[in-house]
Amino acid sequence: MGSLFHNTSFPILSFLLLLPLSLCCRQSHRMRLHSMPQLVSIVVAALAVALLTTTTIVNADANANVDHASGSGKVNAGFFAGYAVESVKITPTGLTGTLVLPAGSTGPYGNDSVRLNWLVEFQTQQRLHVKITDAAVARWEVPFVVDDPQSDHHPTQADDQHMSMKHKKSNGFVYRDYLDADGREKKANAPADHLTAAAGSSNGFDFEFSYTTSPFGFAVVRQSTGDVLFNSTPSTADQDFNGLTFENMYLEMSTRLPDQPNIYGLGERVHQFRLDPTGKTYTIFARDQGTPYDDGLAPGKNLYGSHPFYLEMRNGLAHGVFNLNSNAQDVVIDNNLLTYKIVGGVFDMYFVLGPEPESVVQQYHELIGKPTMIPYWGLGFHQCRWGYQNISVVEEVVRQYRVNQLPLDTMWNDIDYMDKYFDFTFDPVNFPTSQMQQFVANLTSTNQHYMMIVDAGIPIQSGYPAYDQGIAQNVFIGDPNVNAPALGSVWPGAVHFPDWLAANSSSWWVNNLRDFHTNSAAFSGVWLDMNEMSNFCDGDCNRTTTPSIVPPYWPGQTDIQVKTMSMDARHVGTTEFNAHSLFGFLETRATNQFLTQVLQRRPVIISRSTFPGHGRFGGHWLGDNTATWDDLTYSISGVFDFQLFGIPLVGADICGFNGDTTEELCTRWMQLGTLYPFSRNHNTIGARPQEPYAFGPTLLNASRIALNLRYSLLPYYYTIFHRMSIVGGSLFRPLMFEWPMDSTLLEIDHQFLIGAGLLASPVLTQGATSVSAYFPAAVWYDFYNGAPLGNANSGSWVTLDAPIDKIPLSIRGGHIIPMQNPNGALTTADTRTQPYQLLVALDANNTALGYLYWDEGDGVSTEALGHYTILEFQAQPTDSGAQLTSTLATPLYAPLVLSKFSSVTVYGVSSASTVAVNGSPSLTFSYNASSKTLVVSELSLSLGQPFTILWQ
């Protein structure tokens, strides 16, 4: 690091600041710091000396000033150096101290905090925490994300907090990724020399932390490479960005970036997956404004969710940065700088070191909470639209699905079902309660489910139970000027909005859901909409005075209370200014409480607004998109984003919500959308119908093929969901996650992986009947016929045929995919009664690995009761051929023995003249020497019994 520092005395300072601190923290993991008084004395003395030294980090490539032009009332338009270190104290896990504003210094807008507290925690081998707060005033800090009593989520308090994510277990079981020819686990996602270097680092951590004293700044360095991942110290010589800024309603911090940085995340927005780094501003603040493409220019195109997390790729290695802050903010990327501009709260920053992209995602999810395990039916197909005007229309949709042999698990209703748009009601004319009860009962009898929309606003009407109870229990957001609830307006007219920070708001919500479920319709899941929260007024509808909270800087160069509540509306303990972006997250959290604690079922909750930690409780859909080819394409990046954000149950409205779709567009969207984690066809009132049977034979036949493909792959999807519930991670995955060293993949967002084993290359262009697809260096096969694809030694482009009834899908060598052909079944429950199949794709070493997670499909105590089994499948070479084995990786759950394997297909078999199943010759196999495909059929092997299939 010496070359990064301008001060020639840095090598000594580096020793004083880095090595003693690292050794101290390393010993603290072993609880031995108290036995090292000499070391502690040396460290404290070294820090005292260091406080007298000023060191400046410089970067010759960064020479542009940050633009604050969108603010108002600026008092200092020039360079602001920020704070200086006043004190430092070593702690068992890092350090604490204070920062002070030099006399006479003024930040961009004034009202600077004079003294700050700062905290550094070495939390795990790959995670560092840096927090900066006001020393004199308790400012707003986000609750329930990294410490949540409802979900027992306390990642910084766990006994095994220093354990690498790749070692995390569930009841003693560990999912593995790959096998080499000898059956040993192989890590394929990162260079081996890097992993060795990190594991052998001198301080036990993958990172080093350093800071400068005046002006204050800090740096996070990847220890194995010396790469500076975050560096906030301003240069007093270059004055290219401000130092730490901490004002009443304005915070600013910058870090240096390499040329053309590869940054992903910072949602929610519609965009290409890789963020444009050339003078762009990305606003983060929950907002209802449709789904415009975000060009990074004012006004801000921020959407429903608020996710201040980004993943950056550098030279094949990944790291992530999360700033736990719910206030409105801009993240500006320009001139080799990334700058946070935030209008409240504190800096509460977490750095995760990966180094593989998937490891970064897992480490982030370990912090904010791993995704919830969903019920099996949640992965089935869903149908909805705004404009099903009565129950007869809804019943006919369900009937048409069945008549046309189209799988359908869940039927939904938009706001049409409500009485005057009141939550927890049915329209007595168009959706009579008795008919709805019978309809839901009929769905249940055919193993189908019902979900309905619930909006955020509670209508103001005496005699309406949700309103009366809410008033009595004081659960609504308060007016800032009078002792009464704040007034909003949405579909039913005048409304109040729940304050999810009120102690009894969750129980009030749960009781209303319980009453509706018991007395009206036994719904299986809940759809939460308008929960940014969306308001038909700009601020309080009763407002006659100027809001008391007006920040000097407007993120997105837009009044942040447009189409929502006034920023000074009262929550318990804070204001809307601070809590706004948490509404959807906390509403989902309360809804999850009803489903998991009252119904004792796993949650399917689809919410429009989200925040970090949301995936612990529910899923998301990408909002009010439009029936265009661009929206089809951008949906892939949207799903990618929410894999990063820890909300893997996500999808776009298939065929488009707004506007009229076409048969070709809807056909291609059905093919892509049936591979989303959450798969739902949905459109708006007044648009032409777009159910899979609504156009003609082209859409109908292609949809039937696509839906049967989805349902056959659900054992694979479900297994990945279980894995994510244990260790976090992604399902719908960018290619770069598996080949981070291949720079071609950094901008590819028109293809995607399903897990690590399947590669989809959808048609995204009107009129196209072929796709130019990139195949990273690996053994690849056509999923449908086993034809070899790509180049095992280098990445290559291949043109794939894609007629109107086909989505190109490929399988990666080294993977085994458990499948279950529906065989005419039209629900997940009925599909699960069918036999299983295995699709085996051998790699260059004739090996492959796969898993099947099997349980009852629902229930919140599955693992605690041991009501599940995990099977591990391995293909390996033998002296005379190769073999496939199935073994129980966890104890047997008895009902599993009733399920059978009916066939095994193996791609990449060099020869097979004989086949033996559990030692007995098989007469029901075929081998195609041209395609090198072996098919062993007419099996009846119990999933509950180990087996071996040998070919030679």
Instruction: Enumerate the active-site residues.
Output: 529, 532, 624
Torsion over CA of 495, 498, 504 and 510, rounded to 10 degrees?
A: 90
Scan for tokens 């005292």, then name that residue. 48
Element (H, E) at 193: helix 192-199
| Residue 867, amino acid | H
Residues 386 and 418: beta-carbon distance below 8 Å: no
User: What is the number of helices (H) and of strands (E) in the chain?
Assistant: 16, 50
CB 308 within 8 A of CB 331: yes
Q: How far is CA 141 from CA 147, 160, 347, 705, 849, in A?
A: 12, 26, 9, 50, 44
Q: Which residues of 300-319 are buried (b: 16+ CB within 10 A; e: fewer)?
A: bbbbbbbbbbbbbbbebbbb
235 touches 77 (CB < 8 A) = no
DSSP 259: S
Look-up of token digits 């699709």: 839
The two three-digit tokens of residue 590, written as one number = 């309360």
Structure tokens, 707: 């839906």
- For residue 235, the 8-state DSSP code is P
Q: How many whole angstroms separate alpha carbon 743 and alpha carbon 530?
A: 40
Q: Considering only CA atoms, which of 773, 693, 574, 737 is closest in space to residue 142?
A: 574
Backbone angles phi, psi at 184, to 5 degrees: -85, 150
Distance CA 155, CA 148 (A): 10
| Distance in angstroms (rounded) separating the CA atoms of residues 373 and 391 | 32
Which DSSP symbol is given to 66? P
Query: Can you list the positions of beta strands (E) in 214-336?
Result: 216-222, 228-231, 245-247, 250-256, 262-267, 280-284, 307-314, 317-323, 329-334
Residues 6+ apart with CB under 8 A from 467: 458, 459, 460, 461, 496
CA distance 359 to 189: 9
Q: Are 144 and 151 in contact (CB under 8 A)?
A: no
- Running DSSP on this structure, what letter comes out for residue 409? -
Helices (H), 554-696: 576-579, 583-593, 629-644, 663-673
Determine the Cα–Cα distance for residues 225 and 589; give it in Å rounded to an integer.
Answer: 41
Tokens describing residue 804: 């109107």
Could you tell me which residues are beta bridge partners of residue 437?
none
Separation CA 151–CA 910 (nearest Å): 51
Residue type, 773: A
Q: Which residue has the tokens 């093919």?
A: 671
Instruction: Single out the residue of 456, 463, 469, 529 nearest to residue 496, CA to CA.
Output: 456
Listed in sequence order, the DSSP H helices in 304-463 are 357-368, 391-403, 433-445
Q: What's the CA gap between 438 and 418, in Å, rounded?
A: 17
Q: How many CA atoms within 13 Å lie on the side-chain side of 281? A: 23
Token pair of 371 as six digits: 């995704």
